[in-house]
């Protein structure tokens, strides 16, 4: 069976095509202002590189903040569900997921089976959060993936709170 997964976020589009459970094609591109056009173009490129046609793909599922832009999708999966399923497949012992995207951030509590038990999404504008992280990675000359390994080596832990929280508590 050949299936495709398409994640259309505020900043990027990611596509993966699998045949019998194995990745046969993948691609990513900046989402841009015309997300539907970006999805169409990238999907066609990934299909071509994989030696496939649209007729070969039996099911297309979309996720992301602009999942509705995938007109040819057979279904859509909420972001938190997609995060949970993907992380549990890669890291079966994970129980908490932090997803910081270009438009929002969320924390997700998951079961061992990959079901979303609870989640919290930022209530205030986080536009540019993902861009900020990418910019900091370049400034620190350290890939984001390495941040997690580095954080495990920290001897001191510090509470991280927003300026608004500190203002409301009287710290300022």
- The pLDDT tens digits of the residues spanning 134-155 come to 777 777 788 877 876 776 776 6
**How many domains does the chain contain in total?**
2
Paired strand residues for 108:
97, 119
pTM: 0.72
Q: Which of 60, 76, 92 is the last residue of a domain?
A: 76
Q: Is residue 171 part of a domain?
A: no
Give the model's pLDDT for residue 171: 45
Residues 29, 94 within the same domain: no
| Euclidean distance between CA atoms 12 and 54, whole angstroms | 22
Packing angle of the helix pair 129-140, 144-152 (nearest 10 deg): 70
Task: Provide the residue count of the chain.
Answer: 172
Q: Is residue 45 part of a domain?
A: yes
Residues 89, 151 within the same domain: yes
Most confident region among 5-19, 42-56, 151-165 by mean pLDDT: 42-56
| Euclidean distance between CA atoms 147 and 90, whole angstroms | 18
Structural domain for 46, as ranges: 2-76
pLDDT in tens, 74-96: 999 999 999 999 999 899 999 98
Residues 64, 85 within the same domain: no
Instruction: Classify strands 105-110 and 116-121 as parallel, antiparallel or unpaired.
Output: antiparallel
Residues 86, 67 within the same domain: no
Q: Is residue 142 part of a domain?
A: yes
Residues 58, 89 within the same domain: no
Residues 20, 87 within the same domain: no
| Euclidean distance between CA atoms 96 and 3, whole angstroms | 27
- Is residue 31 within 8 Å of 38, Cβ to Cβ? yes
Provide the percentage of residues in the chain whose pLDDT is more than 90.
52
Which of the pair, 127 or 91, is modelled with greater confidence? 91
Residues 58, 88 within the same domain: no
Q: Which of 52, 76, 100 is the last residue of a domain?
A: 76
């Amino acid at each position: 069976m050949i299936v495709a997964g398409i994640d259309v976020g505020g900043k990027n589009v990611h596509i993966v095509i699998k045949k019998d459970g194995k990745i046969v094609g993948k691609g990513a591109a900046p989402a841009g202002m015309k997300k539907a056009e970006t999805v169409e173009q990238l999907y066609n490129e990934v299909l071509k590189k994989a030696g496939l046609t649209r007729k070969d793909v039996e099911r297309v599922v979309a996720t992301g903040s602009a999942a509705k832009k995938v007109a040819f999708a057979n279904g859509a999966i909420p972001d938190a569900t997609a995060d949970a399923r993907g992380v549990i497949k890669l890291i079966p012992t994970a129980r908490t997921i932090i997803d910081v995207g270009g438009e929002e951030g969320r924390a997700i509590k998951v079961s061992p089976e990959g079901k979303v038990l609870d989640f919290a999404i930022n209530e205030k504008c986080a536009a540019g959060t993902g861009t900020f992280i990418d910019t900091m990675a370049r400034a620190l000359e350290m890939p984001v993936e390495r941040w997690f390994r580095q954080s495990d080596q920290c001897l001191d832990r510090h509470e991280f709170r927003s300026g608004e929280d500190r203002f409301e508590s009287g710290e300022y």
